[in-house]
Amino acid sequence: MKKVINVVAAIIENKQNEILCALRSPQMSLPNRWEFPGGKVEKGEDIFSALKREILEELDCQIKATELFHENTHEYDRFIITLICIKANIIEGTPTASEHSKLVWLKRENLDSLKWAPADIPAVTTLINE
């Protein structure tokens, strides 16, 4: 039986209505694919605490979660991801890539120009059609 991993991701939008996208580094699984920043929910942690912790670790900024946006399950070869996307605003700091190769801000209509990690694609589609 494959391991199920709960993952949270932030949908962060700036004042120009652009969404923050993160490029997975060559050292990560699914290298050079785009994703919404976030990470694994640790045992005993709620999704909002996990998201705040992951964004602080990965982007060195503080966020405030605003609403649950999208949830889906994706089966990879060796594991299953339950991806919970949460809309959030930056309340302190400027996103800086520490674990990712690159960060970009894109308008919704341009999100499909990137090569996304498979688990993120349903949320991307929902954002484009929002």
pLDDT at 28 over 80: no
pLDDT at 109 over 80: yes
Q: Which parts of the chain fold into alpha helices (H)?
A: 47-59, 121-128
Domain extent for 119: 3-128
Asked if 100 and 23 count as a contact pair (C-beta separation under 8 A), the reply is yes
Number of domains into which the chain is organized = 1
Q: What is the pLDDT of residue 29?
A: 80
Which CATH number covers residue 96? Answer: 3.90.79.10
Average the pLDDT over each of 22-36, 62-76, 93-107 and give the range with the smallest value. Answer: 22-36
Query: The tokens 């199920």 sit on which residue?
Result: 4
Beta strand pairing status for 3-12 and 38-40?
antiparallel
> pLDDT tens for residues 50-98?
999 999 999 999 999 999 999 999 999 989 999 999 999 999 999 999 9
- Using a 10 angstrom Cβ sphere, with 0-12 exposed, 13-18 middle and 19 or more buried, the burial of residue 15 is exposed
* pLDDT band at residue 24 using 50, 70 and 90 as cut-offs: very high
